[in-house]
Each structure stands twice: as C-alpha cells, then as structure tokens.
Chain A
Amino acid sequence: MSTSGGMAQGWLRTVQRIGLAVAGGYGFSLAAVVLLAWLLSAVLPRSEAVVLAAMLGFLVYLGVSLWAFAEQRLLTLWLVLGGGSLAAWVMVSLAPGVA
C-alpha cells in the first residue's frame, strides 16, 4: 500500500468490492428469488410463492452484501455474486414467457 501503484490497486479492489456488494448482491438475490418462487410454486399457490420468495430476497441481499465486505478473496466474490447475477440475467431475459 505504500507505493502509488499499490494505492491504485487498493482503490480498484475497493471499487470492485462495493460494486459486487451492491450490484452483484442484487443480481444474486434476484436469481435466488426467481428460483425460489419457481420451486415454491410446486407446493404453494403461485402468487403466494412469488411474494414469499421476494420478501426473503431482502434478507438474502442483506446477507450476501455484508459477506462481500468480509470475504477477502475477490475471485470468490466474482464467482458467486457475478455467477448469480449472470444466472438471474439468463432467467429473466430468456424465460419462455418473454419470447
């Protein structure tokens, strides 16, 4: 951290971390909500499944966004939160109903 290169790298890591906590965390939570709503709709009326999953989504988001600040390895964060966001994007944009 003493050299200016180290400082710049530190900043870059911080920006990544915040981006992953906010955007990655949301994407991951959205994927969890969409999947959970779908799974729960097997045992609950669909609208009930959706509202339950979406409410739980806030707690998922809270958990993963805090974890994004605690986890040291950025790669792990990218894999989990980035991967989750990608999954959410795939589900939302490629769902049969949208086509």
Chain B
Amino acid sequence: MVASWRESMRWQHTWVGLVLGALLFAIFWMGSLSVFDKEIDRWMMPATRLEPPESLSLAPALASARKVAPDASRWRLMLPTSRSPQMRLYYPDAGGDLQFVDLEPGTGRPLPPQGTLAGSEFIFPFHFSLHLKAGQLGYWLVGLAGMAMLSLLVSGLVVHRKPIQDLFTFRAHKRLGRANLDLHNLTGVVGLPFHFIMTLSGLVIFVNIYFPDAATLAYDDAADPQGRFIEEGLGRFSRPPAGEPGTLAPLEPMLERARAAWSGEGPAFVRVWHPGDAASYVEMRRSNQNMVRINRDQLYFDGGTGEVLFRFEAMPLMKTQRFISGLHFIQFDHWPLRWLYFGGGLSGCVMIVTGFIFWLQARRKRHAGQGAFRLVEGLTVGSVTGIILATLAFFVANRLLPLEARFAGYERAALEVWVFFLVWLGAFVHGWLQRSDAWRGQCWAIAMLAVAAVALNAVTTGDHLLKTLAEGYWPVAGMDLMLLAGAAVAVWSARRLTQHRAVRLREVEFG
C-alpha cells in the first residue's frame, strides 16, 4: 500500500510537473522580479528617479488631476513611499480603462510620460494574471498552477525517501545528471516552507475570485450573496453623484484626521469619488509600509464638508486573510527580507528547471527522436531561458525606444510588451530548431543583453554604476548589479554547457 501510494505520487509528480512546469516557471520568474517591482520602475522610468518628498501636499496634485482627467468619475492618488518617490494618479478613461500618470511629489506637476508599464504594471500583473484578461482566464490559469504547485510539493516530498539527507547533498562536481537531481532535491527541500507558504498565500489573496460562490448559503437572504459578503467583510461605501456641481473641501484636515485615527500613519492612497459633484466623497486607505497585513482600514469623508461618512476596520479572520496576503505581497519596508524573498523565488525557478532537465535526461536515450520528446525539449528552453531573454529584451527595448516612439498604431508602452512577447516566441522556435544546443546560445544571448542593458542605462540616463554606487542610489545601482550578476551566471552556464557538449560528443564518438 505504501509502495503504491509512493508510486502514484511519483506518477503525479512527473506528469503534473511536466504539463504545468512551463507556466509555473513564468509565474515564479515574474514573482521573483515583482519583489523589486518598484526598483525596476525607477530603472525603467528615469524621470521618476527622485528624492522622496519631505512633506506631502495634495492640493497641487489635485489641480493636476483636474487638468489631466477633468471628466473622470474618480481619481486615485497613490502617495509617495520610500520605494516610490513620485505620486501616481490613476483614473478611468472614457472607455472605462484605468490610466495612470506620474506626478512630481512636491509640485504635483505631471512628469514627462515614460511610455512604459515597467515593473509595477507589466511584470507584477504578469505574475498573477499573465495579462490574459478575457474572463479572468489568466487568474484561473495561475490558480490552477498554484494548486498544482502545492500538490507537487507534497508529492515531491513523498517521492523522496530521504528528505533530511537531501538538505545536505549537492554533488556539484559530479556528472551534470547527478548534480542536477541533487540541485532539484536541495532547492525543493530547503525551499519547501517558503514555496509552500508563498504558493498558498498567493491563492489566499484571490480567495474571492477562486471561490466566488463561497457566500451562497451563509448569505442566502441576499440577492447578491458574494457582493454582500465583500461589503461586510472588506468594507465599502458608495453613493451616487448628485448631478449638481459642488466644491471639494481641502484635503489636509482629512489627512490629519486619518493620521490621528491610524496612530500617526498616513494613507497609502487618497481617492476622490465623483470629483466636482455635490455628492463627491473622499476615500483614504491606511498605508501598509509598517505592517505585514495589507490592511483594509478605511476612512470616507464627505467631499463638501470633510465630515467622516464611514470608518472601517476588518474583523479578525479577515485580518488574518489580509495578513496572509501581506506575507505574499511584502509591501512593508524590510530590505533583508526582500532579498530573501528574491532568493527564495529564484530557488523555485531552479527547482522547476532542474525538474524539467531530470525528465529529459531520464528519457533522452530511449525517446530522443520522438516528436513528444522534442516538443518538451523546446518547451523547456523557451519557458526557462526564453522568458529570461524576453525580460532582458524588454529592459533593453525600454532604453532604446525613443520616448515618442509609435509603430503601427501602438503606443510606446505596447511596443515594449510586443518586444517581450516576440522575443519569447522566438526563443521557443529557437528551442525547437536547435534542441538542447539552444540552451548554450540563449545563455550567451542573456549575458549579452544583460550587459547591454547596463551600458544603455549608463548612456541614456547618465546614471552609470560608478555614479549610482557612489551616491548610494540603490534602486538603479541594485538593478545594474543584478543584471551584471545575471550575465556572469549566464556566461558560467554557457561555458559549462560547452564542456558538457564536448563530453557528450566524445561519448558518441568512442561509444
């Protein structure tokens, strides 16, 4: 019975891992980068490389909002933080799509548009939605992959008879096959708590998307059970516009009241609903900088009088859900932990790629010529080195495209995204054509693009590595250093693969 249980888990681990490995790698890769999404923003949006403001004034930003989006139904002002010095104004356009413009925090003046989605609008949403918007398809695919990841962690543990021993085993000097499996076990077992908690917390964030019918019976008296549940659990206030013009009271007193209510902490954002209308109101959400929990502490003020309309704080279990979400989001300030998350995420990437390589190695002798084997071979290359290459191409395109670039009706930001997806697609094709030799070529390409990105940042912005290091400007210096470190790893991998190939060819020659 035990043997067959282990056998069934081995089967599950092999095939679920194979089918969802590519998707999981993309999610882990983008998630690891998202840990530093704001720093990637600074690198990709040079106009936002600003000092954090010493004091906050909202009036100039509101004046800008009136100019930029006079007819929008709401404005959301994301306030500056230690990682995002600019103010970001989000507003729905005429079609209802959310747009944003960055504002200089002191003067409220719009910063020159940078024409990029950068880290927080491309890489971060890719991590959880894959940018597939139709019917939340991306969310559901990521959810499926997340559940598969949890089950792979469990089945992987069952398959390994000696998980404790795996903690201390990495025979890097052995043949690539042995070293590869050691590395898979090592990252899998050492990283297990991190990977399990991150995957589960990632699912818990979207509990309302993945179990949209959870409230059916508990709220069976409501016409819209889920809507009522969200209203009660997460707090929501709304009222329709009056249809008559009104003036907005000054926001500073509201800010003061919010700070008093939240033990001195300010809001993460200020949202003005129905601006210019007599029934306008102002929403403030407490900052997450000093707590793990992505809180739902909210204050709503009457736009005309500044009186408090509604105050909300979640109940304990909902706070727990927000705490678990916060563990995943890591929006609080903690640099050592942020680096550990980055390392943990990358160790997950290593675990996935070594799993793929193990699958291929186990079958290379018997099935090398078969179509299915070749399909997996190309899939692995494209989904591993391919997405890294595409990401670097995204960075390089960001530094190469002029600010006013337009092509075939696409805005600059969309062009960057096109570069990403076309390079990714090309990497798959290259993988299917060149087979296992494609690894080497793509490693060299990664090294070259990473170095090119660092050079282009220096040339186009003047913020070269020596300068940013001397000034201690870590968002850009850190990104450049990581690019160089990545290039070094890519060169090392390419050289190791070259040696491996020489050995393989000798084996073929001499039997």
A interface vs B, CB < 8 Å? 22, 30, 33-35, 37-38, 40-41, 44-55, 57-58, 61-62, 65-66, 69-70, 72, 88, 91-92, 95-98
Cβ–Cβ < 8 Å partners of A34 in chain B: 213-214, 216-218
Query: Which residue of B203, B220, B317 is within 8 Å of A97 (Cβ)?
Result: B220
Contact call B317/A37, Cβ cutoff below 8 A: no
Contact call B217/A95, Cβ cutoff below 8 A: yes
B interface vs A, CB < 8 Å? 4-5, 8-9, 11-12, 144, 147, 150-151, 154-155, 200, 203-204, 207-208, 210-211, 213-225, 229, 232-233, 315-318, 320-321, 324
Instruction: List the 10 shortest-distance A-B pairs measured between CB atoms, nearest first.
Output: A47-B233, A38-B217, A47-B232, A54-B214, A48-B317, A69-B12, A54-B211, A41-B218, A37-B218, A92-B213
Cβ–Cβ < 8 Å partners of B211 in chain A: 30, 33, 54, 57
Query: Which residue of A48, A50, A65, A66 is within 8 Å of B214 (Cβ)?
Result: A50
A12 to B53, CA, bound (A): 64
Contact call A30/B213, Cβ cutoff below 8 A: yes
Contact call A58/B151, Cβ cutoff below 8 A: no
The contact sample of 12 A-B pairs, CB cut-off 8 A, is A34-B216, A44-B317, A46-B215, A48-B317, A51-B318, A53-B214, A54-B208, A57-B210, A58-B204, A61-B147, A65-B151, A98-B216
Distance from A25 Cβ to chain B, minimum over Cβ atoms (Å)? 8
A38 to B214, CA, bound (A): 9
Distance from B347 Cβ to chain A, minimum over Cβ atoms (Å)? 21
Kindly list 11 other residue pairs between chains A and B, CB separation below 8 angstroms, not including A50-B233, A51-B233, A97-B216. Answer: A30-B211, A30-B214, A37-B214, A38-B217, A47-B233, A50-B229, A51-B318, A55-B320, A57-B210, A69-B11, A96-B221
Cβ–Cβ < 8 Å partners of A40 in chain B: 218
A66 to B4, CA, bound (A): 13
A96 to B8, CA, bound (A): 42
Residue of B nearest to A67 (CB): B8
Distance from B176 Cβ to chain A, minimum over Cβ atoms (Å)? 30
A91 to B155, CA, bound (A): 32
Query: Which residue of A38, A46, A65, A88 is within 8 Å of B147 (Cβ)?
Result: A65
A49 to B232, CA, bound (A): 12
Given A46-B229, A65-B151, A69-B12: A58 in contact with B218 (beta carbons within 8 A): no
A57 to B155, CA, bound (A): 19
Residue of A nearest to B231 (CB): A47
Contact call A38/B5, Cβ cutoff below 8 A: no
Cβ–Cβ < 8 Å partners of A33 in chain B: 211, 214
A45 to B224, CA, bound (A): 18
Contact call B147/A95, Cβ cutoff below 8 A: no
Query: Which residue of A49, A57, A62, A96 is within 8 Å of B218 (Cβ)?
Result: A49
Distance from B386 Cβ to chain A, minimum over Cβ atoms (Å)? 26
Given A46-B218, A50-B218, A51-B321: A97 in contact with B147 (beta carbons within 8 A): no
Distance from A20 Cβ to chain B, minimum over Cβ atoms (Å)? 13
Contact call A46/B151, Cβ cutoff below 8 A: no
Residue of B nearest to A70 (CB): B8
Cβ–Cβ < 8 Å partners of A47 in chain B: 229, 232-233, 315, 318
Chain A CB count within 10 A is highest, among B208, B213, B316, for: B213
A97 to B12, CA, bound (A): 40
A49 to B179, CA, bound (A): 48
Residue of A nearest to B204 (CB): A55
